[in-house]
């Protein structure tokens, strides 16, 4: 693989941008989730015995020394994270290893006290990608200079390995879990309505013909299993580019964003995909004139033979992908009906046999690819950097070996083949979230519809009114929202709980308690607009929860739902009717540790505390999606102004080519030789003529 200076910068810039979105999204939800009057107050998670700072799992221990309450420490952590990440986004010199180390420490601190709300796959992925950013970024803030390091390809290889694990494990888990919807290829139709935050476009895609959606499921499985297997670590550059465009531009991430909103998982997948690129790909797009003007050097017979062999190998890979399409899924074209039929040509037992073979094969492919990058870096090192190179290779080796434990924990794989010493080392550092497991959270795709928990409140226990949330289906006539990179944690956990059916979770009990108390911080998680919340003036006396199955409407069948986006069917009662004095609710609160035995202690009135309160007052009443959209628009505006000022004030302007230069034709070699021969004596005489001219200028007659 060639040099990776430009992809490395794109990776570091994108990681910083993801940190901005993650910290800002959590910050706006802190009062409702972790505040003193939130669902799970973070102060209740404070250890009873104060421990040294290095032994603590979070920075909340700094609260007493700073005179801040636990909620304020959490807010300060997120604000510092947003500020550091913004600096790294806007200023290239600050994309430093030290900055990314601080960002990861801050996010790990929030993750450790976040509880169920932050234990999602994209949080684990951000922590591992953040660790790789620490290794990939240059360390220049503590030194006088920062330059490109020759071992950057070694550390940057880990991002490609992480991208492979994420994509391959996600695809494998769909089939290894035995999900019948993926084996009969109906999963995509159900996924469009079952995903966390479907967009309005998902409704229109859901109306496509069934045969086209089944073919889409085939493309998803091929893109997540076969394509990464044969392209991500291929020695041929064009194959890696093919894998990049399949994952990002042509199908997967682009379709996921358009139909399911732009989540942190999508942003991180795009960020990791830059590891498939190199500098030549960017240079060929940005400087076509330079390459056009370069003269092609004649190639030897050996080089020509190698290039032809590479072309044959590349063609063989494309034919193999096409063969997998046709043979594994029985693709047949019906020319009369103009449709494409597809059907899986393998069983779950056969797929597990495939995993048994390719589990070790993928690991060995990774080992060979990493060895190649390490050896190539060693052969090109600069005198004096060999020690640093060896340290970097050792660190990357430890991270890569540790990732084998979660990698082999995916559905259908056995962790017994990993060496015991590796498993012990992974267990020792597991609490630092250095590497993560992906694809293990796959849930069966239900054909019964999208399960949703609907909360209802009442003043008298007879008349009930629904509390429709902002970011998930409730009112069947409401347009599916555009959430963007904001991650609504409460809606996400309600979506997960509805699929699992657990009604005794501590967070759900805390949610019911705060809604009965009418806490505005928690109400703001469901609805920012008071006009959309039926109990904005007075809290409900009674509350209950029902479980419904939601489906996208079909205009050809649902004639009675022409104005609705959804249709729903009552399934069962999710939580019985309770009030604040209900013994069942009190018992659940006590079991969850949410029974407050002492009042909340406020922090000191320090300048930091006053600044935090001022910032909180300014963002109060803003939805998370609006806040993040404004923040990203501001960043885009800064980059636009920077580009305009650099172009107007001091930017390099291209020199226009003269007309005769544009129309000048290349001269024949014979003409060039004749002119050079004729110019030789004239040049020799030219010096004499010029000297005579100077003497004549000095003559008295000329001076007069």
Mean per-residue pLDDT of the chain:
83
Q: What is the pLDDT of residue 176?
A: 86
Q: What is the pLDDT of residue 590?
A: 87
Convert the pLDDT of each residue in 509-541 to its tens digit: 999 999 999 999 999 999 998 888 999 899 999
Label residue 602 by pLDDT band (50, 70, 90): low
Residue keyed to tokens 């009906």: 337
Q: Report the percent of the chain where pLDDT is more than 70.
A: 82
Q: Which of 16-25, 286-295, 492-501, 533-542 has the lowest mean pLDDT?
A: 286-295
**405 lies in some domain:** yes
Q: What is the pLDDT of residue 404?
A: 82
Q: Are residues 525 and 546 in the same domain?
A: yes
Structural domain containing residue 554: 450-580
Q: Are residues 384 and 465 in the same domain?
A: no
Task: Map residue 575 onto helix, strand or coil.
Answer: strand
Q: Are residues 462 and 572 in the same domain?
A: yes
Convert the pLDDT of each residue in 29-77 to its tens digit: 999 999 989 999 998 877 665 666 666 778 887 887 888 889 999 999 9
What are the helix (H) ranges across 137-263?
152-176, 180-183, 187-194, 200-206, 210-221, 227-231, 237-245, 252-260
Instruction: Please give the Cα distance from 314 to 599 (Å, whole number).
Output: 68
Label residue 411 by pLDDT band (50, 70, 90): low
Q: From the CA atom positions of the chain, what is the Rg in Å?
A: 31
pLDDT at residue 214 is higher than 80: yes
More confident residue, 415 or 199: 199
Per the structure, how many domains does the chain have?
2
DSSP 333-371: EETTTTEEE------HHHHHHHHHHHHHHHHHHHHHHHH
Mean pLDDT calculated for residue range 412-439: 76
What are the φ/ψ torsions at residue 340 (nearest 5 degrees)? -125, 115
Q: What is the pLDDT of residue 666?
A: 45
Contact 475, 563 (CB under 8 A): no
More confident residue, 179 or 126: 126
Q: Are residues 532 and 572 in the same domain?
A: yes
pTM of the model: 0.87
Can you read off the two tokens belonging to residue 30?
């802190």
Instruction: Please give the Cα distance from 616 to 604 (Å, whole number).
Output: 17
Q: What is the pLDDT of residue 598?
A: 52
**187 lies in some domain:** no
Q: Are residues 364 and 378 in the same domain?
A: yes
Among residues 562, 580, 598, which one ends one of the domains?
A: 580
Convert the pLDDT of each residue in 252-285 to its tens digit: 888 899 998 888 999 999 999 999 998 888 876 5
Q: What is the pLDDT of residue 49?
A: 59
Mean pLDDT calculated for residue range 373-387: 69
Convert the pLDDT of each residue in 146-195 to its tens digit: 545 545 788 899 999 999 999 999 999 899 888 889 999 999 989 999 98
According to DSSP, residue 561 is labeled: G
**485 lies in some domain:** yes
Q: Are residues 458 and 535 in the same domain?
A: yes
Q: Are residues 381 and 416 in the same domain?
A: yes
Q: Are residues 458 and 477 in the same domain?
A: yes
Can you read off the two tokens belonging to residue 119?
């234990």
Among residues 444, 459, 494, which one ends one of the domains?
A: 444
Mean pLDDT calculated for residue range 372-390: 71
Convert the pLDDT of each residue in 65-75 to its tens digit: 888 889 999 99
Q: Which of 92-96, 111-115, 595-599, 684-688 has the lowest mean pLDDT?
A: 684-688
Q: What is the pLDDT of residue 696?
A: 47
432: nearest Cα among 399, 468, 397: 399
Q: Are residues 426 and 454 in the same domain?
A: no
Q: Are residues 428 and 522 in the same domain?
A: no
Q: Are residues 455 and 566 in the same domain?
A: yes
pLDDT at residue 416 is higher than 90: no
Mean pLDDT calculated for residue range 365-376: 86
Label residue 693 by pLDDT band (50, 70, 90): very low
**177 lies in some domain:** no
Q: Are residues 438 and 504 in the same domain?
A: no
Q: What is the pLDDT of residue 599?
A: 56
**299 lies in some domain:** no
Among residues 557, 580, 603, which one ends one of the domains?
A: 580
CA distances (Å), origin 431, targets 44, 178, 358, 434: 21, 31, 29, 8
CA distances (Å), origin 595, targets 40, 43, 408, 585, 586: 11, 12, 41, 10, 8
Q: Which residues pair with 332 in a beta bridge?
A: 341
Label residue 690 by pLDDT band (50, 70, 90): very low
**285 lies in some domain:** no
Convert the pLDDT of each residue in 460-519 to its tens digit: 989 999 998 999 998 999 999 988 899 999 999 999 899 876 667 889 999 999 999 999
**307 lies in some domain:** no
**536 lies in some domain:** yes
């Amino acid at each position: 693989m060639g040099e990776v200076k430009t992809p490395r910068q794109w990776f570091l810039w994108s990681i910083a941008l993801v940190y901005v979105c993650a910290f800002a999204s959590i910050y706006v939800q802190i009062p409702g989730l972790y505040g003193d009057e939130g669902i799970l107050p973070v102060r209740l998670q404070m250890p009873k015995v104060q421990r040294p700072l290095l032994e603590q799992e979070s920075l909340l221990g700094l609260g007493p020394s700073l005179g801040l309450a636990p909620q304020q420490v959490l807010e300060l952590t997120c604000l510092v994270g947003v500020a550091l990440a913004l600096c790294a986004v806007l200023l290239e010199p600050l994309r430093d290893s030290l900055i990314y180390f601080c960002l990861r420490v801050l996010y790990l601190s929030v993750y450790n006290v976040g509880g169920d709300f932050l234990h999602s796959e994209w949080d684990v992925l951000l922590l591992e990608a953040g660790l790789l950013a620490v290794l990939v970024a240059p360390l220049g803030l503590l030194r006088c200079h920062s330059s490109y390091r020759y071992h950057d390809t070694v550390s940057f290889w880990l991002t490609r390995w992480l991208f492979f694990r994420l994509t391959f494990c996600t695809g494998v888990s769909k089939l290894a879990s035995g999900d019948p919807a993926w084996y009969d290829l109906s999963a995509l139709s159900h996924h469009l309505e079952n995903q966390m935050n479907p967009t309005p476009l998902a409704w229109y895609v859901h109306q496509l013909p069934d045969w086209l959606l089944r073919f889409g499921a085939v493309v998803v499985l091929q893109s997540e299993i076969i394509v990464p297997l044969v392209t991500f670590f291929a020695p041929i550059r064009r194959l890696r580019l093919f894998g990049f465009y399949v994952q990002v531009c042509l199908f997967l991430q682009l379709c996921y964003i358009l139909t399911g909103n732009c989540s942190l998982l999508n942003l991180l997948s795009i960020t990791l995909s830059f590891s498939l690129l190199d500098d030549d790909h960017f240079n060929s797009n940005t400087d076509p004139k330079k390459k056009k003007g370069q003269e092609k050097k004649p190639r030897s017979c050996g080089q020509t033979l190698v290039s032809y062999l590479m072309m044959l190998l590349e063609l063989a890979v494309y034919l193999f992908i096409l063969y997998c399409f046709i043979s594994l899924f029985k693709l047949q074209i019906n020319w009369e009906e103009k449709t494409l039929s597809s059907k899986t040509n393998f069983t779950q037992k056969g797929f597990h046999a495939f995993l048994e073979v390719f589990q070790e094969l993928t690991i060995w492919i990774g080992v060979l690819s990493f060895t190649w990058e390490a050896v190539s870096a060693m052969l090109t090192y600069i005198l004096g950097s060999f020690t640093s190179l060896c340290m970097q290779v050792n660190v990357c080796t430890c991270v890569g070996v540790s990732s084998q434990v979660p990698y082999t924990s995916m559905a259908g794989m056995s962790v017994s083949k990993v060496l015991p010493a590796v498993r012990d080392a992974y267990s020792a550092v597991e609490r630092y979230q250095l590497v993560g497991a992906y694809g293990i959270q796959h849930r069966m795709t239900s054909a019964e519809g999208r399960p949703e928990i609907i909360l209802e409140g009442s003043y008298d226990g007879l008349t009930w009114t629904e509390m429709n949330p902002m970011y998930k289906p409730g009112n069947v006539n409401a347009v599916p929202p555009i959430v963007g990179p904001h991650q609504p944690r409460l809606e996400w956990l309600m979506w997960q709980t509805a699929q699992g059916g657990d009604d005794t979770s501590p967070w759900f009990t805390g949610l019911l308690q705060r809604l009965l108390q009418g806490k505005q911080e928690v109400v703001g998680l469901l609805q920012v607009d008071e006009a959309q919340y039926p109990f904005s003036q007075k809290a409900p006396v009674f509350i209950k929860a029902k479980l419904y199955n939601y489906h996208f409407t079909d205009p050809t069948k649902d004639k009675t739902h022409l104005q609705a986006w959804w249709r729903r069917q009552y399934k069962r009662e999710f939580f019985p009717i309770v009030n604040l004095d209900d013994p069942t609710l009190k018992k659940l609160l006590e079991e969850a540790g949410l029974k407050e035995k002492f009042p909340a202690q406020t922090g000191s009135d320090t300048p930091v505390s006053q600044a935090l309160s001022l910032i909180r007052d300014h963002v109060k009443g803003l939805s998370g999606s609006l806040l993040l959209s404004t923040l990203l628009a501001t960043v885009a505006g800064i980059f636009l102004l920077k580009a305009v000022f650099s172009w107007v004030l001091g930017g390099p302007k291209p020199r226009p080519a003269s007309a005769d230069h544009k129309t000048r034709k290349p001269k024949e070699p014979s003409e060039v030789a004749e002119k050079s021969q004729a110019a030789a004596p004239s040049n020799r005489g030219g010096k004499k003529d010029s000297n005579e001219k100077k003497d004549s200028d000095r003559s008295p007659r000329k001076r007069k």
